[in-house]
Amino acid sequence: MIDFFQIVRRALQTSDVDQKLKLTRQAAACAASLKKQRILDGLGEAVDVFSPGRPAKPELVQAGKLPKRAMGSVEGRMIMMHAIAHIEFNAINLALDAVQRFEEMPLDYYRDWVRVAEEEAYHFELIRAHLRHLGGEYGDYSAHNGLWEMAETTAHDVLDRMALVPRVLEARGLDVTPGIQKKMRNVGDEHAATLLDIIFKDEIGHVKVGSKWFRYVCQERRLKPTETFFALVEKHFPRGIDAGVNVEARQKAGFSASEIQRLLA
C-alpha cells in the first residue's frame, strides 16, 4: 500500500509529461495489490495541493486571454486540440490528487480514481497525437487553470471535491462535447471527432464515479444529496453555469431526475 501511494504522489508531482503518464499506469497496475477494506494505513501525508507537477509550458493565463478557436483553419483546430489536451492533463492530476488526498474512504474509492487517472492519461495521449499530426505540440499555446483552481478550493473536503470537480466542471464536458464534434466534422476533421467519441464515453463513467462517491459521503454524513449538491453549486457558482444540459449523458453519469430538472431550470 505504501508503494502504491508513493507512486501516485510521484506521478502527481512530476513535471515531465511522459514520466507522469508512465507513473500513472504503474499506480493503476499497483491498485490490484490494495487489500485493506477501509482506512488505508499506507496513505501518509498528502502532497500540497498548490504544487501539482506540470511542465513549464503551456503558459497559464486568464480564460479571456486564450487564443481563439475558430476551427475553419488548421491552426484553429490545433488550438482546440491543445485546449482539450490541457483539460485531459489536468484531469490526470485531479484524479491522482483524489487518490492521495482523502483518508478513510473505502478501498474501491482509491481503485476507482486511479483507474480514472489511467484513462485520462490515455485520453491525453490520443489528443496529443492528433495535435502532433496537425503540426502542433502540447505547450505551444497558452491555457487556463480553472480546473485546478477548483481542486485547490475543494482540497479540504472529499464531499466538496466529488460534488464540484466531476459533477460540475467535468460534467460540463458532457454538455459541450457533441457541439465540438459537430464543428470538427463540419470542417472535415473526422478523426478528431472520433477521438472525442472515445473520450466522451469514458467521461460519462468518470462523472459517474464522482456521483457514486458524492452520494456515499452524503449517506455517511446523513445529508440529502440533491439539496447538498445544489447548495455547493450555488455557493461556488453564484452566477450559475452556462450552456445547455446533455440530459441523456448526465442520466448515464448518475444524475437523478430531480437534479437534471433543476439544472434545466
> Domains in the chain, start-ordered, CATH in brackets?
2-36+69-264 (1.20.1260)
Is residue 1 a contact partner of residue 41, using CB atoms and an 8 Å limit?
A: yes
State pTM to two decimals.
0.93
Q: How distant, in Å, are the alpha carbons of 49, 149, 180, 240 from that of 155?
A: 7, 10, 31, 22
Cα 90 from Cα 109, distance rounded (Å): 20
Mean of pLDDT values over 129-158: 93
Mean of pLDDT values over 8-24: 96
Give the three cell numbers for residue 37.
477494506
Helical H segments across the chain, by residue range: 2-13, 17-30, 74-101, 107-134, 146-153, 158-164, 171-186, 190-221, 225-236, 247-252, 257-264
Mean of pLDDT values over 2-17: 91
Cα 239 from Cα 233, distance rounded (Å): 10
* Residue given cell 441523456 in the structure block: 248
H or E element at residue 43: none
- Residue 243 pLDDT exceeds 70: no
pLDDT reported for residue 33 = 77
pLDDT band at 144 (very low <50, low <70, confident <90, very high): confident
- Residue 69 pLDDT exceeds 80: no
Is residue 15 a contact partner of residue 54, using CB atoms and an 8 Å limit?
A: yes
Phi, psi of 38 (to 5 degrees): -160, 150
Least confident range from 38-42, 50-54, 132-136: namely: 38-42
- Residue 161 pLDDT exceeds 80: yes
- Residue 189 pLDDT exceeds 90: yes
